[in-house]
Amino acid sequence: MSKLEGFPKDFLWGAATSAYQVEGAANEDGKGLSQQDVINTERHKAYGFADASIASDHYHKYKEDIALFKEMGFTSYRFSIAWTRIFPNGGDEVNQAGVDFYRNLIKECKDNGIEPIPTLYHYDLPWALVEKYNGWLSREVVKDFEIYAKFIINEFKDDIKYWVTINEQSIIVQYWTQKCYVPEEYQNQNQLRYQINHHMNLCQAIAVKYAHEVGALAGPALGYSPIYARTCKPEDQIAALNANDLRNSYYLDVYFKGYYTVAPLTYLQENGLAPVIEEGDEELFRANISDFFAINYYDSQCAHACPEGAERSWSGYNLTGKKGDMSGFETHPGFYQMCPNPELDTTAWDWAIDPIGLEYVYRDLYTRYKVPFMITENGLGAYDDLTEDGKIHDDYRIDYLRAHIQATKRAMDKGVEVLGYMPWSALDLLSTSNGYKKRYGLIYVDRTDEDPKECKRIRKDSFYWYKKVIASDGTDL
């Protein structure tokens, strides 16, 4: 096969955001509170991070934002729908103003030649459902999600070709109290991490079913990091395999094969962590296989062997943005322990920078699942400085994005099917872990954690660079 010159003409170039991180207007036009409104008020305030009440004010400025996307040449925009704008309290009472907002947003995209790619769920469960039955902890959530998914997929059936179902289930398992509201009395019951995930798997299969009923395509977005062994010792290789099984395949096998990967499920069962699976659940998975895989790729990970006697722990955080301030590494005694990769440089928040890791992911997963991919997140979280003359010289972000686009091209040249590239993020937004200190956008939003100011939009250097990339079909990098 001859090498592609540039990217295909119909390649979806764009970028991504999520509702609570970018919209603001958290209490406007009938929107209900989401668990993120509460988590961000309680948790983020404690660390001096902004909450979600104004965020980047996309709710009011979406037309200006989409005009900027068009200027960059976007042909796609991945955003998420806030469940609480549509059904403020979960259940089935529709808030028409919320439906209208997304109808207008979708129309604005289409009028500007931009394919709207909505995500159904990006961490923002209606708070009313947390109050009613502890939210994702309860299987009751599946019924509420079904009402929401069925409604919204039908409502926009004429406009949406690709539905992204649920964002980053594996990251939700890792950071469950940050991504879900978990009442304190449950926070030491770690089996619930996997139970929540099982409820999400049911929801994601249901979403696929409704998307298929209206002739749309659907797929999950997973935060996906390949896991390397720290050394070539066989013990470390097995540990890396275990980590890949539990942190990656455990999710993908459900989406694309309809069953839980056996080795990690056995490990969870032996350790009292496995979810309760009811009769018929796996049949539901098998009947509703996803069409594409939406990859959120930021970094690769590394693992080594872990002795049986070690203490179990979960992934840590770097809250300071100083390299080396990671609070801990996931440890599963006798299975694996995560660790830094001595071969790779990191961001200020200790995320390993590894574009070859993305190439590895494409190649490995295309061989194993043979489904098309789209990148729905990829980006560099960094401190950005606004210069006195109103510029942001983010050459570090350009370097990062360039290397990952090149990795995408190398994989495509080997026959891997990639539909589009939507890095994180279209504009600066509320980082899930670091507020406005850590920025990802191609467009700068002039606000700080403390002061929302006017949220003025400023084109970063990466904005002009990406525009050139898109205009040249990815040849002028």
Q: Is 168 in the site for ligand BG6 (CB under 6 A)?
A: yes
Single out the segment in contact with ligand BG6 by CB under 6 A; choices: 187-195, 388-396, 407-415, 427-435: 427-435
Closest separation between CB of residue 154 and ligand BG6, Å? 26
- From candidates 400, 424, 463, 465, binder to ligand BG6 by CB under 6 A: 424
Closest separation between CB of residue 424 and ligand BG6, Å? 6
Tell me which residues in 95-154 interact with ligand BG6 (CB under 6 A): none
Check if 115 is active-site: no
Single out the segment in contact with ligand BG6 by CB under 6 A; choices: 52-60, 190-198, 272-280, 426-434: 426-434
59: tokens are 């709710």
Single out the segment in contact with ligand BG6 by CB under 6 A; choices: 42-50, 164-172, 326-334, 401-409: 164-172
CA angle 163, 169, 173 (to 5 degrees): 170
Binding mask 437-476 for ligand BG6 (x = CB under 6 A): -x--------------------------------------
Between 271 and 433, CB nearer to ligand BG6: 433
Between 7 and 163, CB nearer to ligand BG6: 163
Query: What 3 state SS string does the chain have?
Result: CCCCCCCCCCCEEEEECCHHHHCCCCCCCCCCCEHHHHHHHHHHHHHCCCCCCCCCCHHHHHHHHHHHHHHHCCCEEEEECCHHHHCECECCCCCHHHHHHHHHHHHHHHHCCCEEEEEEECCCCEHHHHHHHCHHHCCCHHHHHHHHHHHHHHHCCCCCCEEEEEECHHHHHHCHHHHCCCCHHHCCCCHHHHHHHHHHHHHHHHHHHHHHHCCCEEEEEEECCCEEECCCCHHHHHHHHHHHHHHHHHHHHHHHHCCCCHHHHHHHHHCCCCCCCCCCHHHHHHHCCCCCEEEECCCCEEEECCCCCCCCECCCCCCCCCCCCCCCCCEECCCEEEECCCCCCECCCCCECCHHHHHHHHHHHHHHHCCCEEEEECCCCECCCCCCCCCCCCHHHHHHHHHHHHHHHHHHHCCCCEEEECCECCECCCECCCECCCECCCEEEECCCCCCCCCEEEECHHHHHHHHHHHCCCCCC
Number of residues near ligand BG6 (by CB under 6 A): 15
- From candidates 171, 173, 268, 469, binder to ligand BG6 by CB under 6 A: 171
| Active-site residue (options: 23, 108, 359, 377) | 377
Closest separation between CB of residue 371 and ligand BG6, Å? 20
Q: Is 219 in the site for ligand BG6 (CB under 6 A)?
A: no
Binding mask 189-208 for ligand BG6 (x = CB under 6 A): --------------------
Q: Is 80 in the site for ligand BG6 (CB under 6 A)?
A: no
Q: Is 169 in the site for ligand BG6 (CB under 6 A)?
A: no
Q: Is 432 in the site for ligand BG6 (CB under 6 A)?
A: yes
Closest separation between CB of residue 311 and ligand BG6, Å? 26
Q: Is 34 in the site for ligand BG6 (CB under 6 A)?
A: no
| Active-site residue (options: 108, 115, 168, 359) | 168
Between 84 and 296, CB nearer to ligand BG6: 296
Single out the segment in contact with ligand BG6 by CB under 6 A; choices: 24-32, 93-101, 358-366, 433-441: 433-441
Q: Is 288 in the site for ligand BG6 (CB under 6 A)?
A: no
Closest separation between CB of residue 119 and ligand BG6, Å? 9
Cα(210)–Cα(287) distance, integer angstroms = 12
Q: Is 220 in the site for ligand BG6 (CB under 6 A)?
A: no
Tell me which residues in 372-411 interact with ligand BG6 (CB under 6 A): 377, 381
Residue from 459, 378, 439 nearest 13 by CA: 378
The answer for residues whose C-beta is within 8 angstroms of residue 145's C-beta and 6 or more apart is 121, 203, 206, 207
Check if 168 is active-site: yes
Tell me which residues in 318-357 interact with ligand BG6 (CB under 6 A): none
What is the contact surface with ligand BG6 in residues (CB under 6 A)? Answer: 18, 21, 167-168, 171, 223, 296, 377, 381, 424, 431-434, 438
Residues taking part in catalysis = 168, 377
